[in-house]
Amino acid sequence: MQFLGLRVLIKRIKAIRFMMADKSVPKRKKAVIIAGIIYLFLPIDIIPPILFPFGILDDIFVWILILWYLSSELDKYWIGEKPKDYSRKYRGKNIVDDVKYSVDEDSEPSQRGQD
């Protein structure tokens, strides 16, 4: 998977919103995003923002590291690999998987209960 392409980075940044809304994502991964946002807005940086072109570099570097660390998780949201969770929709219902059946159209319906 391509990492440093500008399109890929933009799509991963847009996918952060969907990842944060998903309840199946571990809290430690959400904490990494929150820590990155806090670091972005804190006045204390490794390189002070007064040194204009270089002051932004540490913030960009931190966010590239965050996007690299969460790349597999974020790719699920913009590529569409994230499986849907149907547990709420089918909660309390009996679902039977891997059942083979066939329907005979030639036979007549049975007349149960009419003896």
Rounded Cα distance between 62 and 41, Å, is: 12
End-to-end CA distance of the chain: 68
Full-prediction pTM beyond 0.85? no
For the chain, the domains span 6-79
Per-residue pLDDT tens digits for 35-93: 988 888 887 777 777 777 777 888 888 888 888 888 888 888 776 555 666 666 677 77
Radius of gyration of the chain (CA): 26
Contact 86, 28 (CB under 8 A): no
